[in-house]
Amino acid sequence: MSEDAFLATYDPDAYGRLALTVDVVLLGLRDGRPAALLLKRDEHPQAGHWALPGGFVGVAETLDAAAGRVLREKAGLSGLHLEQLYTFGAPGRDPRMRIVSVAYLALLPEAAFTAAGRNGAGLLPAIIDVPWAGEAGGPVALRDAAGGGPLTLAFDHADILALAMLRLRGKLDYSGVGFALLPERFTLRQLQDVHETILGTPLNKPAFRRRMLDRGWLEPTGAREAGTSFRPPELYRCRKP
């Protein structure tokens, strides 16, 4: 039998159908803690729960295009760098039907993160409490960054956020991922704050600065931070490859 003949008689209903979605982790820093931007579900299932911005993938749509569309339509954001995080496909993760979700991760500098929480899209900044050390992994808890109580997340979105934190911790030391959480120009103190916030532990200041400078990731700008009482610290930028 030729391939054309095979395809002419192929029955796509011979196998159970499933749906494909994308969910986007918008991660930044808020008040010295890791945080994510969430949306409140106003429809069933799990109406009233908080969720990551997400949506179904169109039949003729790529995953990246779907993630970009979700950001525009549900979060009012565009132009963000997105990278695939993981695929979540447990059979019971959604009560409607078998739905597989490809999670994406986007990192926002603190100013952009704060602005996104005020852009009218209904995004809620939520603090991520990580109870485990290092790269042990495990569950995380979410709470309202404005001082509210704990938040109940829809579906398996708490698991998605937990994996996002684990991935971020794992990449922090060998890649420049931490720079995505900083403004274009930053001090060494700000860079160390980012690493300590993500890792959840204090770092030795001289050792950290020596390691960062020795890696060749940093480029001095020749400018210094404004508005400080004492000798202003030097500003750096991430060196372009």
Q: Write out pLDDT tens, residues 144-187.
A: 999 889 999 999 999 999 999 999 999 998 999 999 999 999 99
For 12-172, give the CATH class: alpha beta
Choose among 225, 219, 221, 223: nearest CA to 189.
225
pLDDT over 70 percentage in the chain: 99
pLDDT at 39 over 90: yes
**Which pLDDT band, with edges at 50, 70 and 90, does 241 fall under?**
low
pTM of the model: 0.93
Identify the CATH assignment for 182-238 out of 1.10.10.10, 1.10.8.60, 3.10.20.90, 3.40.50.300.
1.10.10.10
- Could you give the angle at which helices 205-214 and 188-199 cross, rounded to 10 degrees? 110
What's the rounded mean pLDDT across residues 124-130? 97
Domain ranges of the chain: 12-172, 182-238
